[in-house]
Amino acid sequence: MLSIPVNTDDLAIIAPPDIIEVAVDIGPTGQRGSKVFVGSGEPNGITVNGTIFGQDILLNDLYINVSPGTNYSYMYQYVSVPGSNQWEEILRVNPALHSRLDTTVDFSSGTATITVPISSIATVSGSPFTASSFNIQHNIKHSNVVSSSISNVQVSGSNLQITIKAMEYSGSWQTLTATDVSVYLFISVNTTVV
């Protein structure tokens, strides 16, 4: 057996304190958080002397463009860049989309017109939509094979009118004449239109 002598004069015992006191107080008011502004057009063009719509802008404030065109539905953030502060595009919030199934479309001599309220696709103040503002896809559900195309799109007041021409194959091709034909529509706002 080997024995090693240990000589120590100090003994340290480490343990948590018996009582912890925490003082809680209300500090000074901090700077407000981000505001989100919504308007028509690119925000750098409507910002005047650090204000937009008569309100002061702070760094990190946000702006969403709801005017149809190349920057439709983009979110901007007010950031510091060398030499000044400006709005920078950060993301596309959500393209305006509309998907629907019309179950009561009537085709007469191969033609049917569907009316869609523009407000069900997008809510916009400012520049009005034109027919070229929309991208429209469709599909027809029918018991026979159907060939179809969109022959006309126009904006009439606050509605989008879509005219579809269709033919069905039942031993031979003939114009589609039927009532209560199911037409699936998918409509989005074309963001490349100024």
- What mean pLDDT comes out for the span 43-65? 90
Provide the token pair at 192.
Answer: 């490349």
pTM: 0.55
Residue 15 predicted with pLDDT over 70: yes
Residue 126 predicted with pLDDT over 50: no
Residue 49 predicted with pLDDT over 60: yes
Residue 98 predicted with pLDDT over 90: no
Q: What pLDDT is stored for residue 192 in this prediction?
A: 55
The strand order across the sheet containing 97-107 reads 97-107, 178-189, 134-141
Q: Which of 64, 66, 65 is nearest to 34 (CA)?
A: 64
